[in-house]
Amino acid sequence: MIYYTGHSRNMRALVYFISIPILISIVVGSALASPTLYPTGTTIYKPEEVYTGYTIYVAKAKNQVLLIDMNGDIVHCWDGDGRFRMWYAEPLSTGKLVVATYNRVVAQ
């Protein structure tokens, strides 16, 4: 019998030539994958591990200061006037909010 070893080598090379780029694209594609929907609100809530109260969050992209409760709900929202970007916010005992901007500090 006569065996054609050259043909099987070519076939093996063709299989490697096709399968290796496919495997690389699957691995790279899954590594670069990101979710299209991001969770909002409270994602994990363990009441026994948190302090009761509120959180003040400065949403710099929206130029807002948000007061958020432990359920992730917005209790109050302070909007900036547009002239200054809000950087930091701190509540006062009087109920007012001190906001630090890039240029000055204002109280609302």
Which tens digit of pLDDT belongs to each residue from 10-63? 777 777 788 888 888 777 776 666 666 777 766 777 878 877 888 899 988 888
Q: Is the pLDDT of residue 7 over 70?
A: no
Q: Please state whether the predicted TM-score (pTM) of the whole model is above 0.75.
A: no
The rounded percent of the chain whose pLDDT value lies above 70 is 78
As a whole number of angstroms, the distance between CA 64 and CA 88 comes to 10
User: Do the beta carbons of residue 67 and residue 38 sit within 8 Å?
Assistant: no
> Which sequence spans correspond to the domains of the chain?
1-34, 47-107
100: burial class by Cβ within 10 Å (0-12, 13-18, 19+)?
middle
The rounded percent of the chain whose pLDDT value lies above 90 is 9
Q: Is the pLDDT of residue 1 over 60?
A: no
Q: List, for residues 52-101, the tens digit of each pLDDT value.
A: 888 899 988 888 899 998 888 899 998 887 777 888 899 888 888 888 88
DSSP state of 11: H
67: burial class by Cβ within 10 Å (0-12, 13-18, 19+)?
middle
Q: Given this model, what pLDDT does residue 17 score?
A: 80
